[in-house]
């Protein structure tokens, strides 16, 4: 995803001299083509993410479109105050990009596990929150936040994610994507964990369960209409996210269901429970350990259906 983002942003910036990329002293292997092609539109703010965000806000208020870039929690949780006061409050045209959502940097420990970022960013007024599921969604999301006025958060994986979509005829902020229709069960996923949900749907099919599959590249504004329709169509809605089950996609869907009247689906949230990840290991290992692998997702759904 990060390569797709960097390539797409370079294309955008070549056509718009008001687009700037600011990095927190990270991503040089990926960002090198950008600074070589457009050195005047690239800034390394150093390992000072709060300063990076304040700088971005100031430049945005002078008419620039700024993308800030760092890994894990650093461009978000480390500088929430600057995002809140300097960017979101002023509806500044700052696009905050996190590379390494969830357990991407699993081997570096809890400080690098980005598992509360969606919840925190979703709570800030005027902030669009996006977590594309594969490189195709990542390209569309990058272009979408560029054209969207105001502060946006783009949560990416790292690299090597499966390209699941063959293409997208339509993409818009605030709209979910139906990957596959089904019966009784609907899987709703956001972010790079899409590949695990996609494989879980295949495993469920082998068990005779025809589950629907939807991706939500936008967590805020949430596709409320799609959730309400699914709640009436299916018996079980399952949210899958590489994030805490509190405040992320699962929390957002729960809010919609809580305000619905009449019969509706049961909700199951799959993600990190209300805890910190104290385990160190690869992303794949941690997904499985915390119940987010395709096999664990399938097993959990089958237990609920019994």
Among 83, 19, 30, which Cα is nearest to 57's?
A: 83
Distance CA 264, CA 258 (A): 10
Distance CA 23, CA 38 (A): 14
**Is residue 159 predicted with pLDDT exceeding 80?**
no
pLDDT of amino acid 160: 80
Going by their DSSP bridges, the two strands 266-272 and 94-99 should be labelled as unpaired
**Contact assessment for residue 187 and residue 211, using Cβ atoms and an 8 Å cutoff:** yes
Return mean pLDDT, the chain.
Answer: 96
**Which residue spans of the chain are classified as CATH 3.40.50.970?**
2-156
pLDDT of amino acid 197: 97
**Is residue 158 predicted with pLDDT exceeding 90?**
no
Distance CA 159, CA 152 (A): 21
Which residues are CB-contacts of 131 (< 8 A; sequence separation ≥ 6)?
A: 101, 118, 154, 155, 190, 191, 192, 216, 217, 219, 241
Mean of pLDDT values over 232-255: 97
Distance CA 94, CA 43 (A): 14
Distance CA 246, CA 268 (A): 12
pLDDT of amino acid 29: 84
CATH class of 2-156: alpha beta
pLDDT of amino acid 72: 86
Distance CA 223, CA 162 (A): 24
Distance CA 108, CA 106 (A): 5
Using the structure block, give the residue that is written with the tokens 């609907």: 186
Contacts of 24-30 with CB under 8 Å at 24 or more apart are 24/48, 24/49, 24/52, 24/68, 24/69, 24/70, 24/74, 24/75, 26/69, 26/70, 26/71, 26/74, 26/99, 27/2, 27/69, 27/70, 27/71, 27/99, 30/2, 30/3, 30/6, 30/99
The topology under which CATH files domain 177-305 is: Rossmann fold (3.40.50)
**Which residue spans of the chain are classified as CATH 3.40.50.920?**
177-305
Among 228, 234, 297, 229, which Cα is nearest to 269's?
A: 297
pLDDT of amino acid 12: 98
pLDDT of amino acid 7: 96
**Contact assessment for residue 133 and residue 101, using Cβ atoms and an 8 Å cutoff:** no
Helix (H) or strand (E) holding 60: helix 49-60
pLDDT of amino acid 142: 98
User: Which band of pLDDT confidence, cut at 50, 70 and 90, is reported for residue 161?
Assistant: confident
User: Which band of pLDDT confidence, cut at 50, 70 and 90, is reported for residue 55?
Assistant: very high
Distance CA 288, CA 261 (A): 36
- Which range among 11-15, 92-96, 157-161, 201-205 shows the weakest confidence by mean pLDDT? 157-161
Q: Pinpoint the alpha helices (H) of 172-264.
A: 194-206, 224-233, 249-258
pLDDT of amino acid 294: 97
pLDDT of amino acid 42: 97
**Is residue 69 predicted with pLDDT exceeding 80?**
yes
């Amino acid at each position: 995803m990060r390569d797709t983002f960097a390539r797409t942003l370079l294309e955008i910036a070549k056509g718009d001299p008001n687009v700037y990329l600011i990095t927190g002293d990270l991503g040089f292997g990926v960002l090198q083509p950008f600074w070589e092609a457009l050195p005047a539109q690239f800034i390394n703010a150093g390992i000072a993410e709060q300063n990076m965000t304040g700088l971005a806000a100031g430049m945005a208020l002078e008419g620039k479109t700024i993308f800030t870039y760092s890994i894990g929690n650093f461009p978000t949780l480390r500088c929430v105050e600057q995002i809140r006061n300097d960017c979101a409050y002023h509806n500044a045209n700052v696009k905050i990009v996190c590379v390494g959502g969830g357990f991407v940097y699993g081997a570096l420990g809890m400080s690098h596990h980005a598992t509360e970022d969606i919840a925190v960013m979703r709570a800030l007024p005027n902030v669009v929150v996006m977590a594309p599921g594969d490189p195709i969604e990542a390209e569309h999301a990058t272009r979408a936040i560029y054209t969207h006025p105001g502060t946006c958060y783009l949560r990416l994986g790292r690299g090597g994610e499966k390209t699941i979509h063959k293409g997208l005829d339509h993409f818009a902020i605030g709209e979910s994507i139906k990957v596959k229709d089904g019966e009784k069960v609907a899987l709703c996923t956001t972010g790079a964990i899409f590949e695990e949900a996609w494989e879980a749907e295949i495993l469920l099919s082998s068990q005779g369960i025809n589950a629907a599959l939807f991706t939500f590249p936008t967590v805020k504004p949430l596709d409320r209409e799609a959730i309400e329709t699914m709640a009436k169509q299916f018996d079980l809605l399952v949210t899958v996210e590489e994030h805490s089950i509190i405040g992320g996609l699962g929390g957002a869907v729960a809010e919609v269901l809580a305000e619905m009247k009449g019969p509706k689906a049961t909700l199951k949230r799959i993600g990190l429970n209300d805890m910190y990840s104290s385990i160190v290991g690869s992303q794949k290992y941690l997904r499985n350990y915390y119940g987010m692998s395709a096999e664990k997702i399938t097993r959990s759904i089958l237990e609920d259906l019994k």
